[in-house]
Structure formats: C-alpha cells, structure tokens
Amino acid sequence: MKSLILSSQSETTPPMELSDPAQALWWLKKGNLKLGDEWEAAHMICQAHEGTKFYDWVHALAHWIEGDMGNAAYWYRRVGEKMHGDDVAAEWDYLAETLA
C-alpha cells in the first residue's frame, strides 16, 4: 500500500483501491505532511469515521502535523498507540506500512 500511495502522488486524487484511512494518508503525503487543502481532505476523512482505530490513528498524525500535540496525544490514547517515530515523516512511514 505504501508503494501505491507513493507511486500515485502525481495524480490529483487518491486511487480508489486504497482504503479510506490509506486515502487520508495519501492526502497527507500529497500535501508534503504540512497544513493545507490536502491536510483538510485527510482530516475530513478521519473525522467522518471517528471511533474506528485506523481512522483515529491517522487523525492523530494529522494533529501532529498541525502541531497540536495535545490533540494528537488524545487520538493516540484513543487507539492505544504511541508515536512510533521522531518526526511526522517517520510516523507516516510507520502508518503506511501498518495499514498495508
């Protein structure tokens, strides 16, 4: 899945064969792991499915990207996970591998 996310970054929308949480990861990567329209698209996907582990986990990453560490920590606690990297890029890689 990580390779599909990466190989499709030149497209304007994520591949439909990606799960919704993977599409949220796609949007975060498309936006270079920064705030912007792509971040908003990823956040909307996650918010639409609050209470589901992988959506909430990507939601945690989105708030880490935003710099809202209190909110990120809340979402990590909800899914029973911790940050697996020292920066958002490492965490994105970890999540992309985990969702594969």
The pLDDT score that the predictor gives to residue 96 is: 93
The structure tokens 């990297």 sit at 85
The pLDDT score that the predictor gives to residue 100 is: 66
- Residue 46 in contact with residue 24, Cβ under 8 Å? yes
The pLDDT score that the predictor gives to residue 2 is: 84
Q: What confidence tens digit (pLDDT) does each residue in 6-21 have?
A: 999 999 999 999 999 9
Q: What confidence tens digit (pLDDT) does each residue in 18-66 have?
A: 999 999 999 999 999 999 999 999 999 999 999 999 999 999 999 999 9
Statement: residue 99 has pLDDT above 90: no
